[in-house]
Amino acid sequence: MGATLTTYYLEMTDPIQLQPSPRVVEDFAAERSQIPYGALNRFFYHTVGSAWRWTDRLPWSDEEWQAYAEGPGLETWIGYVQGTPAGYFELARQEGNQVEVAMFGLLPPFVGSGVGGALLTAALRRAWEEGTQRVWLHTCSWDHPHALANYQARGLQVYNTETG
């Protein structure tokens, strides 16, 4: 991880752009967490993000995490491999029929296993439901070295880059 941070903003403006992962992950499933539970979001944020400098939310209190998890339009999804949690994503529905993939990542034992393509495919398919007009996210040079390539391979296109 270099000292210079580059942030990439990516979007998809039509569901036809989605390129599902060709890699089959045996016994993979993505399920929505139906009960908002801030401690669950905290666990994934901390465990997934510890290797990638995710620090913004670390000081949040239990109450702040719970309020976030209960926020309007937020969905938390968990990807499972053989019944074991492998990663997660958060979708934030926004004004103008937009959906942000607010958080996305894998638990350490599943990094590099091909699960990321399957999980991202599930995230984008869900994001396009309910009249969505645009799906977007951002990643940065401090995230996994293959994160940007995975997003682009699924059909997301860079629309802005910031370095600083």
Q: What is the DSSP string of the chain?
A: --SS-EEEEEEESSGGG-----S--TTEEEEE--S--HHHHHHHHHHHHGGGT--TTTT--HHHHHHHHT-TTEEEEEEEETTEEEEEEEEEEETTTEEEEEEEEE-GGGTTTTHHHHHHHHHHHHHTSSS--EEEEEEETTS-TTHHHHHHHTT-EEEEEEE-
Span 28-85, pLDDT tens digits: 999 999 999 999 999 999 999 888 888 888 899 999 999 999 999 999 999 999 999 9
Span 91-133, pLDDT tens digits: 999 999 999 999 999 999 999 888 999 999 999 999 999 899 9
pTM for the model? 0.93
Domains and CATH numbers, the chain: 6-163 (3.40.630.30)
